[in-house]
Structure 1
Amino acid sequence: MKNYQQALHDADALCQNKPLWPKGHYVKAQALSGLGRTEEALKEFLYCVALNPEWSLMKKEAQKIMCEMFFPAFENVHDSLTAPFSSRTRLKPAFLSSLNTVEDGSAAGCSEDTVFRLTKALSQEPDVLRSTNSSLSHNVLDLHFEDNKKSLGTILSSLPGPRLKRKLSSDLTDLQSLDVPNKIPKKDGDTVLENSATSALRGIPAVLVDASDFECSLCMRLFYEPVTTPCGHTFCLKCLERCLDHNPYCPLCKEKLSEFLASRTYKKTILTEELIVRYLPEELSERKKVYEEEMKELSNLNEDVPIFVCTMAFPTIPCPLHVFEPRYRLMIRRCMETGTKQFGMCLADELKGFADYGCMLEIRDVKFFPDGRSVVDTVGVRRFKVLNHGQRDGYNTANIEYLEDKKVEGAEYEELVHLHDSVYDQAVAWFTSLKDNMKAQILNHFGSMPGKESEPQSNPSGPAWYWWLLAVLPLENRAQLAILAMTSLKDRLIAIRRVLIFVTRKRPR
């Protein structure tokens, strides 16, 4: 009937009449829990365990309430979205069930070992929840830990039997050896216990630590840069990001994570990473080697260069992109991770997939949205010719060679300078003759026309004003592509002069 106050009154009377009957204390514990008196409820659950060590249900109840007391649950994800993926994690069911493993065959030993193994796990709460860049969080968590430790000590010390206090003292000294300084004050006579605890920890057999316990459930390899989602699941950072490219949900429990896609400020799970460094250094070294080889392969800007098949791009000209396909999300992220921040842009081709000529783009900025889409601000860098077409993880790649203009000297150079100046003046005259609204649109999208350069051959791809004009002129993409592929500045100037003459001449009525 959920009348907890009356239930507590009845349970008190029952415990007075039958103080050694476990079920009486169980009823009292449930009533106290219903009233929100958590510490008193835990005390009664522990009484049940002490009176009947074989009662597995009571052990689970005690473990559950301990977790609620010492590990604030993070259950309501949407109320805790003040920070992106943090380093906190909750206990897994497999871990809780492992706490029921009994090493001591005696009845009293069962209950005590269970309680104190959990106590040891709980003592590491600050390491689980600690943030690397917040000194305030350190102080708050340390205070929280101290209060919880005192509460637990008070509860356990009230249980019958002298062994509990001695066991607790020994167990607390174990915690001091786990790199948690100044958390637990030492008592007289603890030196011998501390030394034995320290030596016991140092003597943990390596066979007890299995690399499979630290495997990512997505790539089935050792965690590399582990991050934990708010729903409590840990993955490699790159694996999680790749899953979020396709949908904004946790890969395991399908918890919605879209609110974190916009910020992209993931934090590593420090405890998991430190455990791997300490107990699995060889496996971590091998995993790091594989990762570095992958990054080296992705950093090559001549072989297997990522290709974005979309529109025409030109050197020095901005090219904003709206990225929404999962394959291109992966491609853009890899360009950022490798540090190259570059990829190729090509026109689509019905037969080959994409054209044989294109332009390298450099990423200047990326803005992410909660649904995973992004707007990428890029600018053209260099022209290239495609040697081989390929694919990687869904997006196109190519082996390329870069194009440079053939330089001329002597009389040919003087002729080139004269042609360059003439076409530039013709281009300025055409742009000036446009209507104001059309000029405003061009300036808003492409910016102002670059000035004339004193040395036309100073840039391997030619003067910047030329590419600005080619992007602005009303030409079909195929015509633009043919001009982009030219390696003679003179030929390109002649081609653009013909276009200017065509667009400026008066049409017959």
Structure 2
Amino acid sequence: MEVRSVPSSNSLPLDLPGISSEMLGVAEEAFRAGNFELAAEIYGSQLDELPHPERSLHVRRGDALALAGKIADALNAYTKAAMLGRLHPEELGVLVESIALNIREKELKLPCFRRKDDHGPINEAYQAPGDFLLAVRRTELHLAMKNFKQALIDADNMCRKHLLWPKARSMKAQALSGLGRTEEAMKEFLYCVAINPEWSSMKTEAQKIMCDVFFPAFENVQASLKPVFLNSTNSPSSVKDVSFAGCSEDSLFRLTKASSLESDLFQMKDFLDNAQNTPGNILSCLPSTGLKRKHASNSEEPHSVEITAKFLKKDTETLCEQVITGTKIREIHMVLVDAADFECSLCMRLFYEPVATPCGHTFCLKCLERCLDHNPHCPLCKENLSQYLASRAYKKTHLTEELITRYLPEDLTERKKLHDEEIQELSNLNKDVPIFVCTMAFPTIPCPLHVFEPRYRLMIRRSMETGTKQFGMCIADELKGFADYGCMLRVRDVKFFPDGRSVVDTVGLSRFKVLSHGQRDGYHTANIEYLEDKKVEGQEYEELLALHNSVYDQALVWFTYLKDNLKAQILSHFGQMPSKESELQANSSGPAWCWWMLAVLPLENKAQLTILAMTSLKDRLLAIRRVLMFVTRKRPR
């Protein structure tokens, strides 16, 4: 790792009005000790306390930020200094050295140069067939005659053949500068400084171009704009207040490792719209130095900020293409791929349907959903994910899926097999059936549920994912946990609240008897067998039909004479009373009106459970008739 030395710089006067000399002394000491972030923070805090901005403090803060690797923030500081007085090339020496160091560390150390055994084929493939010194002389003559276009062609050819030759780079930079392509010339001069840090003439040229291109327009800023911009030091800024044509925040994040891009530079919307050569346009020449992956999304922004790195990206791709042309493309050896790098930190298994949170962490979709059932925070960094949960916009990380598919096919096959086995097990409607312990449910009768407990959120979600959309409903039992009889429910619709709660619209299907009790992931399960009414024939059927008609008429009379408010409540919750059925034994659970009547009659849950467990329609009709007679006698006259 290269050690960065502290460049010589003029010290700040400690007697500035409104500034704490003690704090400035601490900042200068931190600067000399190499703690540039602390120095920049102190300079920034002192600027916030000043009634009027101080140019020298902005320059000094820019130097500290540049040495800390925060190029974008450094540009902001230099910009504010330029607003107070024109910057001189010698004041940008620290910025040039920092950019060159980043280029030297990041861009020039291509992977193809790291293996010694690759040097031979590369050198053979790119050995110049002629005397390149003649090409150098010809290029110098073209530059002297101001034939910059031909000089650029020759210099570019030399750069392609001799990638890291600073002489070729310097001539290319001079040709570009002569053609007026200052942004590209800026990039080439920075490459020269990166290749040879001691080349002072190239460093000076880079400083001159940077000063001319970054800050020429600030002297022409309207007076009405200056106070707003200069006073923005004491007020928080937002990227939302500025528009760069054809730009996005994401590309800006890729250019620098600055911890925050909310700077005063981006509040100058009117000014930047009129200035063609701005720091934003030149940031495309800067190398990426690795920013923490954290993106802020705001759909209400009228314009997005985008600063592309097209020049540097194109040049880097060209270098890589030149080096590997004529050689075999290297493949990643399977022995270098570790499945542990693709493990979910929650289930400790290979990622399956990986999704990324806004804070940049990746989990299996099912694992993340289960965590958010309990707490709306990231399981790793504890960042609040309430908005992410409310939108339920889980985005798969396709790159992770592709990497696993390509490099870990066997592990992925095993993971899919395990997942399919779990889904098949959860789809079984006889064994380990999920049980919702809550209230009485009856066949054909609607049963709306408010689901808020994490275990039942998981249960409902699994019933939807497996495709069965079914689960059992039982009442509670103090000894066993839940009753021995219940009713299967089918999910018709689910509506989610922003906090993860949901309202589930279900309807009863069939009755069951519990054979054994169990648990899975916090909720109850049971092995069950389904109940069916015993069918009768002949004389028994005729008697059953007569009883059925009699009880139905009795029930209809009872409901008709109910008070209007009670009747309205029943109709709003359970709907209209079902009509008589032509075939009594067509449904294994019997006529629907019997279950509707059982649901609306004023009975305790234990009495309802006893009738639910009956497999004889005759017994069920007799029980309903006894209840009707009882409630009719108790009705006030």
Q: TM-score, normalising length from structure 1?
A: 0.70
Q: 2:568 matched to which residue of 1?
A: 440
Question: Looking at both structures, which has the greater relative contact order when contacts are Cα pairs under 8 Å and sequence separation is at least 6?
Answer: 1
Check conservation: 1:25, 1:44, Cα contact below 8 A.
no
CA–CA distance in structure 2, aligned partners of residues 27 and 303 of structure 1 = 60
CA–CA distance in structure 2, aligned partners of residues 326 and 29 of structure 1 = 44
Q: Alignment partner of 1:245: what SS?
A: helix
Matched, 1:149 2:299: no
Amino acid at match of 1:409: E
Q: 2:427 matched to which residue of 1?
A: 299
Q: 1:45 matched to which residue of 2?
A: 98
Matched, 1:461 2:624: no
Q: For residues 29 and 148 of structure 1, do their structure 2 counterparts lie closer, same or farther at Cα, with a shift above 3 Å needed?
A: closer
Q: For residues 91 and 153 of structure 1, do their structure 2 counterparts lie closer, same or farther at Cα, with a shift above 3 Å needed?
A: closer
Q: 1:200 matched to which residue of 2?
A: 329
Check conservation: 1:8, 1:32, Cα contact below 8 A.
no
Check conservation: 1:383, 1:403, Cα contact below 8 A.
yes
Matched, 1:324 2:473: no
Q: Encode CA deviations 1:337-358: one digit per residue, 9 max, x unaligned.
A: 1111111001111111111000
Matched, 1:493 2:621: yes
CA–CA distance in structure 2, aligned partners of residues 220 and 390 of structure 1 = 25
Q: Alignment partner of 1:452: what SS?
A: coil
Matched, 1:169 2:297: no
Larger mean Cα displacement after TM superposition, 23-32 or 273-282: 23-32
Deviation at 1:397, TM superposition (A): 0.5
Deviation at 1:11, TM superposition (A): 11
Matches within 5 A, 1:75-474: 148-152=308-312, 168-171=317-320, 173=321, 193-194=324-325, 196=327, 199-201=328-330, 203-474=331-602
Check conservation: 1:419, 1:493, Cα contact below 8 A.
yes
Percentage identity across aligned positions?
68
Check conservation: 1:4, 1:34, Cα contact below 8 A.
no
Check conservation: 2:442, 2:487, Cα contact below 8 A.
yes
Q: Alignment partner of 1:494: what SS?
A: helix
Check conservation: 1:11, 1:25, Cα contact below 8 A.
no
Deviation at 1:10, TM superposition (A): 8.4
Amino acid at match of 1:476: E
CA–CA distance in structure 1, aligned partners of residues 342 and 587 of structure 2 = 52
CA–CA distance in structure 2, aligned partners of residues 193 and 121 of structure 1 = 25
Larger mean Cα displacement after TM superposition, 255-264 or 384-393: 255-264
Deviation at 1:43, TM superposition (A): 5.7
Deviation at 1:207, TM superposition (A): 1.5
Q: For residues 427 and 225 of structure 1, do their structure 2 counterparts lie closer, same or farther at Cα, with a shift above 3 Å needed?
A: same
CA–CA distance in structure 2, aligned partners of residues 152 and 494 of structure 1 = 87
CA–CA distance in structure 2, aligned partners of residues 349 and 268 of structure 1 = 42
Check conservation: 2:251, 2:308, Cα contact below 8 A.
no
The answer for unaligned runs of 5 or more in structure 2 is: 1-42, 48-52, 81-91, 105-192, 198-237, 242-249, 259-284, 296-302
Q: Encode CA deviations 1:89-115: one digit per residue, 9 max, x unaligned.
A: 9999xx99xxxxxxxxxxxxxxxxxxx
Amino acid at match of 1:200: I
Deviation at 1:379, TM superposition (A): 0.5
Deviation at 1:504, TM superposition (A): 1.1
Q: Alignment partner of 1:292: what SS?
A: helix
* Cα-Cα RMSD: 4.0
Q: Alignment partner of 2:505: what SS?
A: strand
Q: Alignment partner of 2:460: what SS?
A: helix
CA–CA distance in structure 2, aligned partners of residues 25 and 443 of structure 1 = 71
Deviation at 1:152, TM superposition (A): 2.5
Amino acid at match of 2:77: G
CA–CA distance in structure 1, aligned partners of residues 289 and 73 of structure 2 = 25
Check conservation: 1:89, 1:232, Cα contact below 8 A.
no
Q: For residues 274 and 121 of structure 1, do their structure 2 counterparts lie closer, same or farther at Cα, with a shift above 3 Å needed?
A: farther
Q: For residues 153 and 249 of structure 1, do their structure 2 counterparts lie closer, same or farther at Cα, with a shift above 3 Å needed?
A: closer
CA–CA distance in structure 2, aligned partners of residues 32 and 53 of structure 1 = 23
Check conservation: 2:59, 2:77, Cα contact below 8 A.
no
CA–CA distance in structure 1, aligned partners of residues 396 and 522 of structure 2 = 28
Q: Alignment partner of 2:329: what SS?
A: helix
Q: For residues 251 and 28 of structure 1, do their structure 2 counterparts lie closer, same or farther at Cα, with a shift above 3 Å needed?
A: closer
Q: Encode CA deviations 1:33-56: one digit per residue, 9 max, x unaligned.
A: 42469xx9986523235468999x
CA–CA distance in structure 1, aligned partners of residues 317 and 54 of structure 2 = 32
CA–CA distance in structure 2, aligned partners of residues 416 and 296 of structure 1 = 42
Q: 1:32 aligns with which of 52, 56, 75?
A: 75
CA–CA distance in structure 2, aligned partners of residues 453 and 27 of structure 1 = 79
Amino acid at match of 1:149: A
Q: Alignment partner of 1:322: what SS?
A: strand
CA–CA distance in structure 1, aligned partners of residues 428 and 504 of structure 2 = 21
Larger mean Cα displacement after TM superposition, 468-477 or 497-506: 497-506
Q: For residues 421 and 43 of structure 1, do their structure 2 counterparts lie closer, same or farther at Cα, with a shift above 3 Å needed?
A: farther
CA–CA distance in structure 1, aligned partners of residues 340 and 395 of structure 2 = 23
Check conservation: 1:470, 1:496, Cα contact below 8 A.
yes
Q: For residues 43 and 341 of structure 1, do their structure 2 counterparts lie closer, same or farther at Cα, with a shift above 3 Å needed?
A: farther
CA–CA distance in structure 2, aligned partners of residues 391 and 412 of structure 1 = 43
Check conservation: 1:260, 1:370, Cα contact below 8 A.
no
Check conservation: 1:90, 1:232, Cα contact below 8 A.
no
Q: For residues 4 and 474 of structure 1, do their structure 2 counterparts lie closer, same or farther at Cα, with a shift above 3 Å needed?
A: same
Q: 1:157 matched to which residue of 2?
A: none
CA–CA distance in structure 1, aligned partners of residues 71 and 603 of structure 2 = 84
CA–CA distance in structure 2, aligned partners of residues 214 and 47 of structure 1 = 35
Q: Alignment partner of 1:358: what SS?
A: strand
Q: Encode CA deviations 1:299-318: one digit per residue, 9 max, x unaligned.
A: 10000001111110000000
Q: For residues 438 and 4 of structure 1, do their structure 2 counterparts lie closer, same or farther at Cα, with a shift above 3 Å needed?
A: same
Check conservation: 1:11, 1:24, Cα contact below 8 A.
no
Q: 2:609 matched to which residue of 1?
A: 481
Q: Alignment partner of 2:559: what SS?
A: helix
Amino acid at match of 1:300: N
CA–CA distance in structure 2, aligned partners of residues 345 and 11 of structure 1 = 67
Amino acid at match of 1:34: A
Count, aligned residues? 399
Q: For residues 311 and 24 of structure 1, do their structure 2 counterparts lie closer, same or farther at Cα, with a shift above 3 Å needed?
A: closer
Check conservation: 2:61, 2:77, Cα contact below 8 A.
no
Q: 1:109 matched to which residue of 2?
A: none
Q: For residues 387 and 285 of structure 1, do their structure 2 counterparts lie closer, same or farther at Cα, with a shift above 3 Å needed?
A: same
CA–CA distance in structure 1, aligned partners of residues 517 and 578 of structure 2 = 34
The answer for unaligned runs of 5 or more in structure 1 is: 15-22, 56-75, 80-87, 97-115, 130-139, 155-164, 174-189
Amino acid at match of 2:318: S
CA–CA distance in structure 2, aligned partners of residues 27 and 374 of structure 1 = 45
Check conservation: 1:364, 1:379, Cα contact below 8 A.
yes
Q: For residues 506 and 385 of structure 1, do their structure 2 counterparts lie closer, same or farther at Cα, with a shift above 3 Å needed?
A: closer
Q: Alignment partner of 1:388: what SS?
A: strand
